[in-house]
Amino acid sequence: MTRFDTTVNGTAHVAEVDGHESAVEVIRDQFGLTGTKLVCGGGVCGACTILIGGEPTASCLLPATSLRGTEVTTVEGLGGSGDSGAPSAARLHPMQRAFLAEDALQCGYCTPGFVMGAAAFHDRWRQEHGTAEPDRHTIAEALAGHLCRCGAYEGIYRAVAAACRGDHDHDGDEPDRVAARVDGPDKVTGRAIYTTDVTLPDMLHGALRRSAIAAALVGRIDRSTAAVAVDLLGDDRRVRWAGQPIAAVAAETPSEARRVAAELDIEITPLPFVIDPEEAKKAGAPLVHEDRRARRNAPSAAEGPVLPATWDGNRRNSGTVPFRGMAAKRRVRRARETGTGTLVELELSTAPQLHSCFEPHACVADWSDPARLRLWVSTQAVDHTAHSVAEHFGIDEADVEVVADNVGGGFGSKVSLGTEIIAATELSRLSRRPVKLVLDRHEELTGTGNRPGSRMAISMLADDDGRELQALLVDVESHAGVGIGNVVGALAMLVYERSPRLAHDYDILTNGPPGSPFRGPGGPITAWALEQAIDEMAHRLGQDPIALRQRWDGNERRGALYRWAAELPVWRARPVAGAQTGRFRRGVGVAAANWFYFVDPDSEVVVSVEDGRLVASTASQDMGTGSRTVVARAVAEVFDVQPTEVEVRLGRSNATTIHGPTSAGSRTTVSLWSATTDAATELRREIGGSVSAAANGTSATARRGGDRGIRAVPITVAGIQIGRGFSGAVHVSEVEVDTRTGRTRVLRVHGGIAVGRIHAPELARSQCEGSIIQGIGLALYENQVLDPHTGLTLTANLEDYRIPQLGDTPEIEIHFEEAGWDHVPGGGVGLGEVATISPAASIGNAIHNATGWRATALPVRPDRMIEALSERPSVPSAPSRGAGR
Amino acid sequence: MSGITFLTSADLPPGVEGVVRAGGTDLQERLRTANATPHILDLTGIDGYTSVDRDDDGTRIGAGTTIATVARELSDDYPALAATAGALATPQIRAVATIGGNLAQRTRCWYFRHPHTACLKSGGDSCPARGGRHLYGVVFDTSACVHPHPSSIAMALLIHDAEVALAGGQSRSVAEVLGDGVDPTRDNQLGDGELLTAVLLPAPWPDERAAYHRSISRFEAEWPLVEAVCRVRLDDGGRVADCGIGLGGVATVPLRMRAAEDLLRGSTLDDDTIASASAACTQRAEPLPETGYKVPLIEATVREVLERVAADQA
């Protein structure tokens, strides 16, 4: 052991290390400064950034011993220290105030690191340039070592520029006054506690032993080498994918737990497996799910319940959606044979996209008191988790408490009862001590789910004038590894109405990691096929792609968006497809999105007065989407006070809390807004509008309930009811393709969103901007890669799994159409998913407009661009008539 | 014995063995992934380890000098090296990573760094990337290992005819330290216990023109698909008197493009010369099934740096 002195935020500390630790572990675990986050562990994302002598440093790669004798500043000490030497909560660096005012954050997990890097840049810039504003390129270069998965990059640009201009020098020390988000002040100071930050007295640390091979029969697990160990396999004793958890252990330290897990003696019999979907389809391929029971237990990547289906080996018929399907097939066949009409046929593929939440899946379980199970979980669903944990362990739900004060991103991957929850709970039950289990980045990027890859064939037939869509055929094979739940083709049937059409959806099972719901499950994949097909159709017909959609799309809300998009200067000035010959080619593309209106009508909110303050609470959570702020604003509107005067209690489900919605399926805001408004209105009536200590103890509760008029599907399944009407989005993107190096840059995106009334405009805009950033990732960079021979995930770090950077952010404009949802209480529906569906497809169409090449395989990496452009002449064979003006 | 020894001189105490660590930006990531605890030899306290000293013969850069320092302090006299240093990794990494560590880092192959697979560089008996996935692999297939060498700095040092000083006083050329890359088990030819103490650069070229380009998919902070660096000295008539072209991301060692350099010498930097020199860089390329795209990308990347040098825009 080596001991050394260091000074952190002005306070002397002594650290004790064995020499291998990185600085981040010492800062978090020994000094208790949990504002510094560990995310990638590879110096890529910057969430662990600290200042050493004022220089930003990635503490995950900094040997702890390098802190010896240094002056360290962490986010807790950024604003300077108070007289006591302890970090002062009130004193903020101008950059922290700028992050609050410009809403430069969502989940907040990357925020402390970003703030540190940006503050150091600010201090240097101001010394050298005064209050001149740095341009976006300069900011992006300075902050190239930071990533934000939520994609709050537009806000970050604005914040850095504003702070450098000096706009936030004199905001005073009242962070609440400038904050767009009510939890912003906690997030920019590192005070916000996430599950990974929770430490309990006498706590053990858990670790998972995962399979290194893709299929196996597991025999005896020798638990004698571990103090506490849990077998995680089912009765069938089968491992079906490389990385699947087999067992969990607990020990006194995380590294000891990992060592014990690695050294568990496990009897493993390898079984045949299949990784390539084409091989998996062949007769005689090893069966991924060998019998009915295994098939019934297959994990799903769909949102909502999975219907029974027929299986043929590893091919599962996930669903057929016909509307005069035979006619559609007949028409397409005739068009192929006779050449009549205009027939567009594309074969496309997409790659698995990883959620890559910056807060890893994590759970702290405390079952030391057998009568009471307390869980801290990084989850999108505190209420649902409490319910499923009670069910899984056969205990009364009233004895379970689930806490998620802050959640560092979810994107759909933190909805179900994950292995980390089951393992930590079971380890705590056995050890009678609290147990903390946090996945590392390698585990996070291997086995916590993905948006499945796919192969698709689409046939779209129109008459030669494009007056009428005559037939639409969509065949989709989804590759969710051991998972199921393909709905991509079905979703394509809902947009362009009235024609004969037919969708076949299949799941091709392989021994790959399971897919899981990912923000708008299926939607962006549907758009990649459908929206490129209609774009190609417009190109062949020589018609304006927006005008063609206006003709075929009966959705009035999207109609308003088409009118808006058609008038955008970038659209009106778009080039003729494929006509450019220079090195850099610019192109503009459009794509539309269609999504459901989901709601949880059983959601309840209670608004009360406590200690003379307004308090609103429900068993929901805020994973960065802004639910806490939305609830605060709803109460504030009724009482005509500032949102910061309302205390919002989310992130807790126990015997005393009331039901709140899961943060998935775009349902949180639409389930909470009117219930909050109703409860607040009722309370106001009771107390006569004055909030004071005299009203302490009064409260009112309201339930969301149904909509006015008829509902589309008047039943609620798994907390979801499908409401009446489809939401819409239209994205117009401009790209620049470097035909030499194959790199595509997205220069500008206009996002039009039709979800009715927007309750928190800055936050809604940030969500829509983040959707575009994630769409850019899907379109250009992101691809989970498996080794074809072993099924091991090769892209299990943030260097090889490439998510968009600050410098990849286009200029973004978000436009809201707020009409059309009068039947919904509050006048608006959710936007988290509809906003994420069309960005990638609009980029695909823009690439075609720029180069004349139709990119069918995602992501459109430089290698694909180079290979495509070297195979085709620079002059297009069929220039579009009428495009451009 | 797991633990740490803080060295104060480059001469190893007898009987002490372990893994050397300078800035730690490579080692800490590998320790985390592998959950390993080897004995560590910490170099950061070695005397003269972080100094940059110039004299008439050239410049001595202590092996512990950070990449950020190289980028900042050598931009006037060694612009090609400085531009390379300033473009790698991220500002946070550059502030900590050292020039010696950059030369001696291990391969970034996703098989090598995976905890559940073995390759030729991690004790295995074959290269899983060759028959597996190697999108970021080599184009010049000269070794059983197919992942490119990770050091951009090594590529730049090659075209400076730089040397490294080793503990004990001897020195070797960077080219020699890198070797030919054929041995698939090694990232360099340094022997056990051979510590880098400094990088030695010959005297700078007056009026050097230089350019560096990294072809990647995103904005920055990504391992290069292909990278190139170029330094040129023109004579009074505007002809190339001397030049160096380095290429990275394409072979198990960084390459010096001698054939292209020969085409440039004595010529003006006109479009035809640039085109033929760029094309010459793909001679003997033998791409793998997934790296065919890198052949045109080599040409594009070299052309990019030559055009920038011709226009004198570093």
Tokens of B107: 């391969």
What is the four-CA torsion angle of A615, A616, A619, A620, rounded to 10 degrees? -120
Assess whether A793 and A841 both reside in one domain: yes
Q: Where does the pLDDT of residue A882 fall: very low under 50, low under 70, confident under 90, or very high at 90 and above?
A: very low
CATH of the domain at A784: 3.30.365.10
Q: Where is the domain boundary, A395, A423, A438?
A: A438
CATH of the domain at A165: 3.10.20.30
- Residues composing chain A: 885
What is the four-CA torsion angle of B236, B242, B247, B252, rounded to 10 degrees? -170
Assess whether A608 and A543 both reside in one domain: no
Domains and their CATH numbers in chain B: 52-105+151-202 (3.30.465.10), 209-310 (3.30.390.50)
Assess whether A649 and A562 both reside in one domain: no
| Mean pLDDT score, A117-136 | 98
Helix, strand and coil content of chain B, in percent to the nearest 5, comes to 25, 20, 55
Contacts of A805 in chain B (CB under 8 A): 218-221
Question: Which residue type occupies A320?
Answer: T
Q: What is the pLDDT of residues B237-252, one digit of tens each?
A: 999 999 999 999 999 9
For residue A86, the model assigns a pLDDT of 44
For residue A688, the model assigns a pLDDT of 86
In this model, does residue A487 exceed pLDDT 50? Answer: yes
The contacts of residue A338 (CB under 8 Å, 6+ apart) are none
| A743 contacts B221? CB cut-off 8 A | no
| A66 contacts B4? CB cut-off 8 A | no
Nearest to B24 among A2, A63, A800 (CB): A63
Q: Where is the domain boundary, A414, A438, A462?
A: A438
Nearest to B219 among A61, A255, A805 (CB): A805
For residue A564, give the H/E element and its range.
helix A556-566
Helix, strand and coil content of chain A, in percent to the nearest 5, comes to 30, 25, 45
Q: Where does the pLDDT of residue A85 fall: very low under 50, low under 70, confident under 90, or very high at 90 and above?
A: very low
Would you say residue A523 lies in a domain? no
Q: Where does the pLDDT of residue A485 fall: very low under 50, low under 70, confident under 90, or very high at 90 and above?
A: very high
Would you say residue A325 lies in a domain? no
Shortest distance between the Cα of B271 and any Cα of chain A, in A, equals 15
| Mean pLDDT score, A549-575 | 96
Three-state secondary-structure class, residue A754 = strand
User: Beta strands A604-610 and A204-210: pairing type?
Assistant: unpaired
Assess whether A728 and A716 both reside in one domain: no
Number of structural domains found in chain A: 4
In this model, does residue A875 exceed pLDDT 70? Answer: no
In this model, does residue B176 exceed pLDDT 50? Answer: yes
| Mean pLDDT score, A744-768 | 97
Q: Give percent of chain B with pLDDT exceeding 70.
A: 99
| B117 contacts A787? CB cut-off 8 A | yes
For residue A497, the model assigns a pLDDT of 73
Q: Where does the pLDDT of residue A90 fall: very low under 50, low under 70, confident under 90, or very high at 90 and above?
A: low
Shortest distance between the Cα of B131 and any Cα of chain A, in A, equals 9
Q: Which chain A residue lies closest to B301 (C-alpha atoms)?
A: A741
Q: What is the pLDDT of residues A331-350, one digit of tens each?
A: 999 999 999 999 999 999 99
In this model, does residue B186 exceed pLDDT 80? Answer: yes
Would you say residue A467 lies in a domain? no
Q: Where does the pLDDT of residue A19 fall: very low under 50, low under 70, confident under 90, or very high at 90 and above?
A: confident
In this model, does residue A87 exceed pLDDT 60? Answer: no
In this model, does residue A513 exceed pLDDT 50? Answer: yes
| B37 contacts A144? CB cut-off 8 A | no
Nearest to A808 among B218, B223, B304 (CB): B218
Would you say residue A475 lies in a domain? no
Q: Which chain A residue lies closest to B5 (C-alpha atoms)?
A: A19
Q: Where does the pLDDT of residue B255 fall: very low under 50, low under 70, confident under 90, or very high at 90 and above?
A: very high
Contacts of A22 in chain B (CB under 8 A): 24, 28, 32
Assess whether A737 and A629 both reside in one domain: no
Largest CA distance in chain B: 64
Contacts of A41 in chain B (CB under 8 A): 29, 32-33
Q: Which chain B residue lies closest to A777 (C-alpha atoms)?
A: B218
- By CB atoms closer than 10 A (0-12, 13-18, 19+), residue B307 is middle
Contacts of B304 in chain A (CB under 8 A): 740-741
Interface with B, mutate which of A787, A793, A869 (most B CBs under 10 A): A787
| B219 contacts A144? CB cut-off 8 A | yes
Choose among B268, B269, B274, B273: nearest CA to B302.
Answer: B274
Would you say residue A253 lies in a domain? yes
Q: What is the pLDDT of residues A286-344, one digit of tens each?
A: 999 999 999 999 999 888 777 889 999 999 999 999 999 999 999 999 999 999 999 99
Interface with A, mutate which of B32, B44, B274, B294 (most A CBs under 10 A): B32
Choose among A277, A332, A667: nearest CA to A483.
Answer: A277
Assess whether A715 and A730 both reside in one domain: no
Nearest to B3 among A19, A262, A863 (CB): A19
In this model, does residue A167 exceed pLDDT 50? Answer: yes
The span from the CA of A226 to the CA of B287, in Å, is 49
Task: Say if CB A679 and CB A605 are below 8 A apart.
Answer: yes
| A63 contacts B21? CB cut-off 8 A | yes
| A44 contacts B304? CB cut-off 8 A | no
Task: Say if CB A797 and CB A440 are below 8 A apart.
Answer: no
For residue A712, the model assigns a pLDDT of 60
Nearest to B92 among A145, A788, A804 (CB): A145
Assess whether A727 and A695 both reside in one domain: no
Q: What is the pLDDT of residues B198-236, one digit of tens each?
A: 999 999 999 999 999 999 999 999 999 999 999 999 999
| Mean pLDDT score, A382-408 | 97
Cα B101–Cα B113–Cα A195 angle in degrees, nearest 5? 100
Assess whether A656 and A728 both reside in one domain: no
| Mean pLDDT score, A421-445 | 98
Assess whether A665 and A645 both reside in one domain: yes
**Domain, as residue range, for A231:** 204-271+361-438
Shortest distance between the Cα of B189 and any Cα of chain A, in A, equals 25
Would you say residue A444 lies in a domain? no
Q: What is the pLDDT of residues A845-855, one digit of tens each?
A: 999 999 999 99
Nearest to A862 among B35, B114, B217 (CB): B217
Assess whether A854 and A727 both reside in one domain: yes
For residue A884, the model assigns a pLDDT of 36
Nearest to B24 among A42, A62, A804 (CB): A62
Three-state secondary-structure class, residue A793 = strand
Tokens of A487: 């709905």
Q: What is the pLDDT of residues B12-56, one digit of tens each?
A: 888 888 899 999 999 999 998 887 789 999 999 898 899 999 999
| A140 contacts B44? CB cut-off 8 A | no
**Token pair 């006109």 in the structure block, residue:** B270
Would you say residue A630 lies in a domain? yes
Shortest distance between the Cα of B255 and any Cα of chain A, in A, equals 20
Q: Which chain A residue lies closest to B26 (C-alpha atoms)?
A: A61
Would you say residue A509 lies in a domain? no
For residue A174, the model assigns a pLDDT of 65
Assess whether A740 and A804 both reside in one domain: yes
In this model, does residue A829 exceed pLDDT 70? Answer: yes
Q: Which chain B residue lies closest to A43 (C-alpha atoms)?
A: B93
Assess whether A735 and A613 both reside in one domain: no
What is the four-CA torsion angle of A365, A369, A374, A376, rounded to 10 degrees? -30
Nearest to A792 among B35, B114, B292 (CB): B114
Q: Where is the domain boundary, A669, A701, A722?
A: A722
Q: What is the pLDDT of residues B270-281, one digit of tens each?
A: 999 999 999 999
